[in-house]
Chain A
Amino acid sequence: MDLKPITAPATEEDRAAVDALLGPAVPAATSLRESAGLRHLLLPGLHAIQSRLGWVTPGALGYLCERLHVPPAEAYGVATFYALFSLTERPSRVLHVCDDLACHAAGAPALTAQLEARAGAPGRAHNGAMWLRSPCLGLCEHAPAAMLTEAGVAPRAVAWGPVDVAGCADALAGHSPSSSAAWTLCAPQATGAVPWSAGAPRLLRRVGQVDPESLDAYRAAGGYQALRLALERGPSWVLREISESGLVGRGGAAFPTGRKWQAVAQATARPKYLVCNADESEPGTFKDRVLMEHDPFAVVEAMTIAGITVGAEQGFLYLRGEYPLAHARLSSAIAKARARGLLGADILGRGVAFELEIRQGAGAYICGEETALFASLEGFRGEPRTKPPFPVESGLFGRPTVVNNVETLANVLPILTEGAAAYREVGTSGSPGTRLFCVSGKVARPGLYELPFGVSLRHLLELAGATDVAAVLLGGAAGTFLGPAELDLPLTFEDTRKVGATLGSGVVLVLDSSIPVGPVLARIASFFRDESCGQCVPCRVGTVRQEELVARLVRGAPRGSHQQEQELLRELGCAMRDASICGLGQTASSAIESAVARLGALFPPAAAAAAKEPKP
């Protein structure tokens, strides 16, 4: 291909932003060969431009395209895919105010209204700053939350909560970021690491107890024992232990981890890749953030074990762009591990190699879908790919790839140090081990709770101090609502499946009787409309129609009869579930349909009763 460059010339600053990532430009004669295979640097390149200039200028994008030999139209298509990149000029300081589910329950609608009165409409520059509404920032236990980004030669980002309108205004005025103390003080506390009754927590045992910046402290607290065991006993031992532990994925799909690892370990194609999916974006989910912020070495160690077990020498941790503190802590942990020979060409002198790199997402929920994540990492739009082929066969760069969620990987360490048999002693036979529950909303003690599988939802809600429970959203925006009569549900994969619910990513969002369900459903519908990648018709248009339908019902202005609207909602849900390419479209109607069926939301009682009748 013979690329036509962008006509806007790159300024010195445009070039500097890109060169800071890629190094100085090479002579033109060698650039084509030099740039072959560099497409995967498109996303880091766009981050470099955005964080330095505050927006993606035509000149900088053109220069990046030249350096990476990417067609400008494609690079523009990629840049316009992500919410954290702007293709039009923006002030350097941008405040992202979360108005998603947990923050909604914590008063985000009032907060954003006040902010609008004080600092102008969202998206409008005002005194060198602007604010935007944001989908879930993963700070639900500190709701309402916000994230401030400040572009420049030394770009900064901080996410914190709870925020009020004065705090938002201060941040917009630059007060909070200019005082270095505020930037560090804003680090969220590791709250709610509640020990379970049967013993000490497994996944959260170091959270809030051990200095996340110190490798020595991590080792003193049992760190790197699992890697030593894995190196001593070999990959087949690790594979057997993981398989026998019954560990299944904690990202939402609950696929057996052992089978995934086994398939990639047996694959003959080279190279193989390990990807840690840390694009935690499911509204109401913050468990991976807490693990990465407060036990970063555990994530690095578990990834190292996974890599050497399946024969992957390169790992990528795909971290959502809204987690600045996790990024800092993980970067520091990786550097320290590498300096001590715990990462690199010769791990602990055993002759095995594993390298690890963090790649940041840029505001796209869909990139948590594994094949969309690969596309994003490779420098393409984060559009899911058709399965089959599955990642274990053809994943990142078309190679056999293991992709695991952060919490899934965190389980690997106790499985190896305790042994699979001891691991299984906790939990149920169908759901062994413990689970992290992200409790937020109307509870006295929101936070991350580690509990053995099998405890009831009621028990968890009692621990968190829920007194008035009108509804619980289980599993996230892609999950299901449960009514107050269903709180005795044991929290396991098998029991939730039996009642047509899902544990999803561990979200337990509590709504009390003070919060009308309608606007919450409207927010969920709005979320999926915003986050659909737009590739397939059922999801691209279906999420729009679903949002319109919910809006009509919340306004009390159905089109035609309630029965007609009910039929429309049901048929939309069926088509999205059956005909969408990926899990986003397939689950986009799940929470709304469950609220109609289980809470009697959106429709008057007569229509709701008719909906429960079996359809011919």
Chain B
Amino acid sequence: MIRLPVLQPAALGGRVRPADQAPHAPDEPRPRLVELSVDGQAVRVAEGATVLEACSARGVDTPTLCFAKNLTPVNVCRICVVELEGARTLVPACSRKAEAGMVIHTDSARVRLSRKLVLELLGSSVDLSATPKIAEWMERYGARPERFGPPASPAQAGEREASEPGHHHAPEGAHAATVAQPAKVDNELFDRDYAKCILCYKCVEACGADAQNSFAIAVAGRGFDARISTEFAVSLPDSACVFCGNCIGVCPTGALVFSREHALRQAGAWDETRQAQTTTVCPYCGVGCALTLHTQDNQVVKVTSPVESSVTHGHLCVKGRFGWQYVGDRPARKP
């Protein structure tokens, strides 16, 4: 019989464990802290944290649009830019890692000007009527989108999809170009009102590797003609879409919207003051996803999941997101 040599604990790591101590996972190493200055005050955050987190730790309210806790930061909206001393340009707070010794200004003239312009550029080209907090930010930064002129007439259906990179009609300048266009309604679950799209990439990320791995949509086109699209702009039912609705969950401007919400909004009947939110657990499979049912007049009008949920991180599947029609169909129980 072959005898295998027995390795003593000392040979493994040098430390011998007392016999009475049960084995346990090693403690999480305590993160190292880095200290930086935000608006003149010292802040300490864990190594790897972002400047945005450092600003939050200091109690600074930083506007964000393309940032979401459950997605990889893409830093494209540029509304969160802050001034970093020594840097040639402003830096995006949402993605820039905090480094020891950084000196950050979140309300300098440069920061205020850039944030104002970002708000004006978006406000003059996109319908922000369903974007939370936008009016407050516009006021805070003195943004006046109307400075760029009255809006140009909206695009016809299919017009933006037909644009070619590197070519556009020269403007006469009296009107401000916009992304106004008819909403895309091609299924019964949700609508795509791209007149409200600020091209934050969140839906693409949620459809892709950050959540669903369906890759049904991507950014197509270039420059101001860039748009969220399926291949050859086919309808969602013809695309790789699995109708998980995670794109709706992350959309910051209400461009992607439940059909019922869209209908209510168009009828002027959408009223969040009359809505209740009920937290529950999805009744379908065994995962136990946390659901938040948004009800108006005792009708479910929208379903979300808390980003903080360790089960969902805010993402759901088609059943949890849309499979609630039966709730309203049940006949009321007689007393």
- A residues touching B (Cβ–Cβ < 8 Å)? 1, 3-4, 6-7, 58, 61, 71-77, 80-83, 86-88, 122-123, 132-135, 363-364, 381, 386, 522, 526, 529-538, 540-545, 547-553, 555, 557, 559, 564, 568, 571-572, 574-575, 577-581, 586
- Asked if A575 and B168 make an inter-chain contact with CB atoms under 8 angstroms apart, the answer reads no
User: Do A6 and B117 have beta carbons less than 8 Å apart?
Assistant: no
- Beyond the given A532-B224, A559-B173, please list 6 additional residue pairs across the A-B interface where CB-CB is below 8 A: A1-B213, A87-B232, A533-B222, A571-B113, A572-B117, A578-B113
Would you call B312 an interface residue if the criterion is a C-beta within 8 Å of the partner chain's C-beta atoms?
A: no
Among the stretches B70-78, B246-254, B283-291, the one at the interface with A is B70-78
Q: Mark B180-216, 1 if CB is under 8 A from A, else 0.
A: 0000000000000000001100000000100001111
In the complex, whether B138 has a CB less than 8 A from a CB of chain A is no
Which among A86, A530, A568, A571 is the interface contact of B223 at CB below 8 angstroms?
A: A530
Contact of A4 (CB < 8 Å), options: B147, B208, B220, B239:
B239
List B93-137 residues whose CB lies under 8 Å from chain A. Answer: 95-96, 110, 113-114, 116-118, 121-122, 124-125
* Residue picked from B110, B167, B208, most chain A C-beta under 10 Å: B167
B25 / chain A contacts, CB cutoff of 8 Å:
none
Please determine whether A73 and B78 come into contact, CB atoms closer than 8 angstroms.
Answer: no
- B172 and A135 form a contact (CB under 8 A): no
Residues on B with beta carbons closer than 8 Å to the beta carbon of A135 = 166
How many Å lie between the Cα of A542 and that of B114 in the bound state?
11
Q: Is the CB of A540 within 8 A of B172?
A: no
Bound-state CA distance A6–B216 (Å) is 11
Contact status of A133 and B172, CB under 8 A, knowing A73-B231, A75-B231, A544-B125: no
Knowing A548-B148, A552-B173, say if A541 contacts B124 (CB, 8 Å).
yes
24 contacts between A and B (CB under 8 A): A1-B214, A72-B230, A73-B218, A75-B231, A76-B231, A77-B229, A386-B95, A530-B223, A531-B166, A534-B219, A534-B221, A536-B76, A536-B78, A537-B118, A538-B78, A540-B224, A542-B121, A543-B223, A552-B172, A555-B173, A574-B110, A575-B116, A577-B89, A579-B114
User: How many chain B residues have a CB neighbour from A under 8 Å?
Assistant: 63
Q: Do A72 and B149 touch (CB < 8 A)? A: no
Whether A532 pairs with B165 at a CB distance below 8 angstroms is no
| Bound CA span A535–B204, Å | 13
Query: Considering residues A133, A530, A579, A580, which has the most beta carbons from chain B within 10 angstroms of its beta carbon?
Result: A579
Q: B215 near A81 (CB under 8 angstroms)?
A: no
Shortest CB-to-CB span from B67 to chain A, Å, is 13
Known: A548-B177, A571-B117. A541 touches B224 (CB 8 A): yes
Contacting A581 at CB < 8 Å: which of B76, B116, B118, B175? B76
Interface of chain B, main secondary structure: loop
Q: What B residues does A574 contact at CB under 8 A?
A: 110, 113-114, 117
| 10 nearest CB pairs, A to B | A534-B226, A83-B166, A71-B215, A551-B173, A575-B117, A552-B173, A77-B218, A72-B231, A541-B121, A4-B240
Which residues in A have their C-beta under 8 angstroms from that of B222?
Answer: 80-81, 364, 530-534
Cα-based distance from A571 to B147 in the complex (angstroms): 12
Inter-chain contact B173/A529, CB cutoff 8 Å:
no
CB neighbours of B234 from chain A (8 A): 7
Chain A residues, Cβ within 8 Å of B231: 6, 58, 61, 72-73, 75-76
Q: Are B176 and A548 in contact (CB under 8 A)?
A: yes
Q: In this assembly, does B332 line the interface, its C-beta being within 8 Å of a C-beta of chain A? A: no
Expressed in whole angstroms, the minimum distance between the Cβ of B333 and any Cβ of chain A is 43
**Which of A80, A87, A538 contacts B117, CB < 8 Å?**
A538
Q: How far is the CB of A518 from chain B (nearest CB, A)?
A: 12
Evaluate contact between A575 and B114: CB separation under 8 angstroms: yes
Query: CA A1 – CA B208 in complex, angstroms?
Result: 9
Bound form: Cα–Cα A26–B175 in Å:
54
In the complex, the answer to whether A579 meets B89 with C-beta atoms within 8 Å is yes
| Contact status B172-A541, CB under 8 Å | no
Chain B residues near A134: list those with CB within 8 A: 166
In the complex, A586 Cα to B116 Cα: how many Å? 17
CB closest chain-B residue, reference A530? B166
Q: Known: A7-B238, A80-B221, A578-B89. Contact between A86 and B117, CB under 8 A?
A: no
Alpha-carbon gap, A4 to B110, bound state (A): 47
Q: Which residues of A contact B6 (CB under 8 A)?
A: none
Give the CA-CA distance A547 to B149 in the complex, in Å: 13
Which residues of the other chain, B, contact A552 by a CB distance below 8 angstroms?
172-174
Indicate which residue in B167, B221, B240 contacts A81 across the interface (CB closer than 8 Å).
Answer: B221
User: What residues on B are CB-neighbors of A71 within 8 Å?
Assistant: 208, 215-216, 218, 240
